[in-house]
Structure 1
Amino acid sequence: MFSWRVCFFMVVLATGSNAQDLQRLERVADTLAKEQNFSGAVLVAKGDKVLLQKAYGEANFEWGIRNSSDTRFRLGSVTKQFTAASVLLLQERGKLKLSDPVGQHLPELPTAWHAITIQQLLTHTAGIHSFTDLPEYRNIERFAKSPAEILELVRARPLDFEPGSRWDYSNSGYVLLGMLIEKVSGVTYEQFVQQNIFTPLQMKDSGYDTNAAIIPRRAAGYASLGQELSNAEFIHMSVPYAAGALYSTTRDLLRWQNALYEGRLLSLSSVRAMTTPVPPGYGLGLMIMDGPEGKRYFHAGEIEGFSTLSSYRPDEKISVIILSNIEKRELMWMELPLAQVALKQKVILPSERTLMSLTPARLDELAGTYAAADGAKTWVKRDGTQLSVRQGGQPWLPIFAESNKQFFARSADVQFEFNLAANGTVEALTRHQFGSLQRMSRVAEADPDYARVPFFLRGDMNNWGLNDVMQSQAPHVYSAQLQLGKGHYLFKLGSEDFKAVDFGAASGDTKVEPGKAKTLDAVGDNLQFEVRAAGQFRFTLDTRNARAPKLTVTQLQ
């Protein structure tokens, strides 16, 4: 178990109401960090003026070394804005045009890719399948790979859609952009970013991460299961490449943002190109969003052991930078309140809300299925004396009543309001999150039918592949049988893309005991199974209760 610890902070000195604003900013940061057991570094600034700079948790939990404002974190996909800026620098120097077909510069690419423009690669509208979405990805991420070897995973696949016809996030596109930068510039991606961005901007704590290099003050990365930490899975940093391999600090990223958006690195016309979005709001290596607090440019990052987020509000020149050395953390819950305080907007923390107790009968009236205009589902169920919400494939989120129709979450900055019809019945649910509203109508829903799509036993026992299909043994009962050697196995039950079916551990309990039925959860954590003696094992999934499928593992004689 890890504990929340404040390690270092700097708040600018001020007097009067400004001092109160800064105290409020620090209190909001401290409270949110403590509630989430946040480990990492946070910076809030207005232009070059730092309003809050603070670190929490440990850079290395095994040695008890605290994070500081100088700790270096892997950036994950925050890297993409540096890749986009590099392409724009090459355009300004006359080396390429965003309208160029990529095949003009890289003729060795598959013929189907030749007509894709550089602009389409930058905006994720090229249609090249993202290699990180493939089951085979887990087989390569631990090994040194060249960009060409990475793209070999998707070269033979048809395009997901006609280039320019729609948007779909693709790490493959940004690996390809890294290859383009190297071909056109004549130097490696690492050298180009260092020589043209980091050195001119005096970003002395930033660079291209490598596994072998000794990098002073580099944080160790962790995974978490509830309050328990483990060392993150290994990833060879040649794999994320131009899509996610850079590291930096909060202060260096502030230098970057101010130089970028003030036109000190790129021309203002290039900055406008970078911040002009295509639907659903993606520019060149950046997301662009309008909310109640104004326009925002931002990008999140996620890589083994790390979660990151950098944002900039151009109207007020507000930067919020959050870097964590724990993976799979949603940082927007922290970013938005900090930005709102910096903008002198009202923020109500979950701990500042008043709880109300509702009867089980009232909670049952609110439970049900709700659907957004695009068909995305949200489920609400009663857990004893409170409600829990699941949106899409996310884990269940406990929510708490502050009135007979208004609820809030303690672990995320999200509120829900149940909308009533004239006769008092519940007709819709409105979600308030990240400054936006989403209304979802109440719908009737039949239990899911897991027979409609093939799904597999996938894990360490078969390299997370598709060899062991779960075959129907009786209505709504599926099984797979295989030989296992002595050892420890992580596994899940999932479809080919892990989207249609993705069963894992419910309620954080990941261990599977032989002969004991275990209730699974959609998009749960990896399951664990210990084989004490080699033999044949049968994995049986009973989905007769579609909302609470049960897995039993039996060793055969």
Structure 2
Amino acid sequence: MAKQFFIYLISVVLSSQMSLGQNRGKQDLLSAKIDSILQASVDVSEIPGAVVLIKQGDQEIHKAAYGYASLKNYNHHVLAHPERTSIDHLYDIASLTKVVGTTTAIMLLIDDGLIKIDDPVSLYIKAFDTPEKSKITIRHLLTHTAGLYEWYPLYYFANTKKEVYNLIDNLPLKYPVGSDRHYSDLGFILLGEIIERVSKLPLDQFMKQRIFKPLGMNHTMFNPLHHDTELKMAATSHGNPYERRMISDAVLGFSIDSINPNQWDGWRKYTLKGEVNDGNAWYANNGFSGHAGLFSTVSDLQKVVDMLRYDGKVGNQQFVSKQTVRLFLTQDKFMNGLGWVMDTSNAFMKNAPNGSFGHTGFTGTSIAVVPQCDISIVLLINRQNMGLLPSQKYINLNKIRAQVFRAVMDYCTPLKN
């Protein structure tokens, strides 16, 4: 009997070692594939650089940096000494601010009992108590169904945050409330205003005190140059050339007939590094807003992702209630969640299993989370530092993101219910 038990133990150990070896082999293959995709994109000068973190369960499967944090100067010449990027570099995460910062803040206020998801916006912003806007709710803002302009050059008319809020308050709606999804920066600027009104704190301070400090996100902040000029930061655009085009080129669909492109000329004329790329955040909102402005690292962003993956729990503490997490990560009729994108027709998580969620940022950042595989991808690319293409657009990252996501999907095995 003892001999049989000993043989059984040996077989269990050998089986476990074989399983570990197989898993390690699969991880090595995935890492090699991700390395190949991202390094190839750097080598052919599609992108300056990238940082990626892929995590499954509690294990970081792949974490690596490629290429450069700063490659080209304002004149689009390669720097004499380009700065290599690293896993510790801060990236301008652009619209990831909407989900990492603003959406999380709204979740906390809901848990605090200070707001409700279907509260009318007019309860907090009196200017919305009009026949046209009174039906707009916080849910509408989070789901981009409030009927607001997708984008508006607020800095043409506003120099302060108060002026920005007043301007948006008085803009007419562009679409009927709730009729369709029109992705809008303005909706998240308003959410930032609501957060400030309810919490009685500036938006950046609320996020620092209630999100970043408790989660240990020590390298996530607005206006990093105000904190520490020695921080390692990836460079983004050379001024705001695409945004200037948005003002003047009707082909892009953003120009507004009543605005003269030449009536304002405060454009930056240098390469941006540590300054938010987004014009409305920088020129009119002191560098921080509900829609853009955060800088972060892959490791810090992973902490928000992990909190959501574990139904709002961080260690033994419930950071956000499970009920609120489920509320925000349930698809609506437009196939998206509250704040978070859940429509898997998007290239960055194409054909993902049900329940997957994520978001992208204009500068080249993205998060994709696949709960059915217990896996996530945080990918930071500073695509704008290459400058505009001959088409006067920045490189479309859909192909790269799709390749990375497909490689991860080929690796993972959906969990059994």
- Same fold flag (TM > 0.5): yes
Residue number among 97, 113, 124 corresponding to 1:94 in the alignment? 113
The aligned residue for residue 304 of structure 2 is 256
Output the CA distance in 2 between the equivalents of 1:163 and 1:173. Answer: 12
Instruction: Say if 2:51 and 2:63, in contact at 8 Å, map to a contact too.
Output: yes
Letter of the 1:87 counterpart: I
1:316–1:223: structure 2 CA closer, same or farther, 3 Å change rule? farther
Output the CA distance in 1 between the equivalents of 2:395 and 2:359. Answer: 14
| TM-aligned CA deviation for residue 197 of structure 1 | 1.2
The range that moved more, 260-269 or 290-299, is 290-299
The range that moved more, 165-174 or 205-214, is 205-214
Letter of the 2:305 counterpart: Q
Residue number among 142, 145, 151 corresponding to 1:122 in the alignment? 142
Question: Pairwise mapping of residues 79-228 of structure 1 onto structure 2 (< 5 A)?
Answer: 79-81=97-99, 82-109=101-128, 111=130, 112-130=132-150, 132=151, 134=152, 136-137=153-154, 139=156, 144-146=159-161, 148-209=162-223, 212-215=226-229, 216-223=231-238
SS in 1 for 2:52: strand
Instruction: Say if 2:47 and 2:383, in contact at 8 Å, map to a contact too.
Output: no
Q: Deviations over 1:36-87 (max 9, x none)?
A: 2342322222133222222223223345221110000111111111211211
Residue number among 41, 51, 54 corresponding to 1:41 in the alignment? 51
Output the CA distance in 1 between the equivalents of 2:373 and 2:278. Answer: 40
Output the CA distance in 2 between the equivalents of 1:234 and 1:163. Answer: 26
Q: Deviations over 1:174-211 (max 9, x none)?
A: 11111101111111111111111111111111012366
Question: Which has the bigger relative contact order, CA under 8 A and spacing at least 6?
Answer: 2
TM-score by length of 2: 0.69
SS in 1 for 2:116: coil
1:24–1:51: structure 2 CA closer, same or farther, 3 Å change rule? same
SS in 2 for 1:70: coil
1:287–1:118: structure 2 CA closer, same or farther, 3 Å change rule? same
Q: Deviations over 1:211-238 (max 9, x none)?
A: 655341122223599xxxx835784263
Structure 2 unaligned runs (5+)? 1-20, 72-78, 242-269, 314-318, 345-349, 385-393, 413-417
SS in 1 for 2:214: coil
SS in 2 for 1:26: helix
Instruction: Say if 1:78 and 1:308, in contact at 8 Å, map to a contact too.
Output: yes
Output the CA distance in 2 between the equivalents of 1:58 and 1:16. Answer: 29
Report the identity percentage. 26
Output the CA distance in 1 between the equivalents of 2:154 and 2:125. Answer: 24
Residue number among 344, 347, 363 corresponding to 2:410 in the alignment? 344
Question: Pairwise mapping of residues 43-442 of structure 1 onto structure 2 (< 5 A)?
Answer: 43-61=53-71, 62=79, 63-81=81-99, 82-109=101-128, 111=130, 112-130=132-150, 132=151, 134=152, 136-137=153-154, 139=156, 144-146=159-161, 148-209=162-223, 212-215=226-229, 216-223=231-238, 231=271, 235=279, 236=282, 238=286, 241-262=289-310, 263-264=312-313, 265-290=319-344, 291-295=350-354, 296-302=356-362, 306-327=363-384, 328-344=394-410
SS in 1 for 2:140: helix
Higher strand share: 1
Letter of the 1:145 counterpart: T
Instruction: Say if 2:38 and 2:66, in contact at 8 Å, map to a contact too.
Output: no
Instruction: Say if 2:27 and 2:61, in contact at 8 Å, map to a contact too.
Output: no
Q: Deviations over 1:441-499 (max 9, x none)?
A: xxxxxxxxxxxxxxxxxxxxxxxxxxxxxxxxxxxxxxxxxxxxxxxxxxxxxxxxxxx
1:197–1:329: structure 2 CA closer, same or farther, 3 Å change rule? farther
Structure 1 unaligned runs (5+)? 1-11, 347-557
SS in 1 for 2:109: helix
Instruction: Say if 1:47 and 1:319, in contact at 8 Å, map to a contact too.
Output: no
SS in 2 for 1:277: coil
1:219–1:160: structure 2 CA closer, same or farther, 3 Å change rule? same
Output the CA distance in 2 between the equivalents of 1:84 and 1:71. Answer: 24
| TM-aligned CA deviation for residue 14 of structure 1 | 7.0
SS in 2 for 1:333: helix
Instruction: Say if 2:49 and 2:68, in contact at 8 Å, map to a contact too.
Output: yes
Output the CA distance in 2 between the equivalents of 1:154 and 1:193. Answer: 22
| TM-aligned CA deviation for residue 246 of structure 1 | 1.0
**Larger CA Rg, structure 1 vs 2:** 1
Letter of the 2:410 counterpart: K
| TM-aligned CA deviation for residue 244 of structure 1 | 0.8
Letter of the 1:322 counterpart: L
| TM-aligned CA deviation for residue 248 of structure 1 | 0.5
Output the CA distance in 2 between the equivalents of 1:20 and 1:39. Answer: 21
1:223–1:323: structure 2 CA closer, same or farther, 3 Å change rule? farther
Higher helix share: 2
Instruction: Say if 1:91 and 1:98, in contact at 8 Å, map to a contact too.
Output: yes
Output the CA distance in 2 between the equivalents of 1:300 and 1:234. Answer: 14
Aligned residues: 322
SS in 1 for 2:378: strand
Output the CA distance in 1 between the equivalents of 2:278 and 2:289. Answer: 15
Output the CA distance in 2 between the equivalents of 1:272 and 1:15. Answer: 33
SS in 2 for 1:197: helix
SS in 2 for 1:294: coil
Output the CA distance in 2 between the equivalents of 1:128 and 1:293. Answer: 29
Instruction: Say if 1:145 and 1:239, in contact at 8 Å, map to a contact too.
Output: no
Output the CA distance in 2 between the equivalents of 1:52 and 1:18. Answer: 8
| TM-aligned CA deviation for residue 169 of structure 1 | 1.2
Q: Deviations over 1:382-410 (max 9, x none)?
A: xxxxxxxxxxxxxxxxxxxxxxxxxxxxx
TM-score by length of 1: 0.53
Instruction: Say if 1:298 and 1:309, in contact at 8 Å, map to a contact too.
Output: yes
Letter of the 1:269 counterpart: Q
Output the CA distance in 2 between the equivalents of 1:67 and 1:101. Answer: 44
Output the CA distance in 2 between the equivalents of 1:172 and 1:49. Answer: 37
| TM-aligned CA deviation for residue 105 of structure 1 | 1.9
1:329–1:255: structure 2 CA closer, same or farther, 3 Å change rule? farther
The aligned residue for residue 425 of structure 1 is none
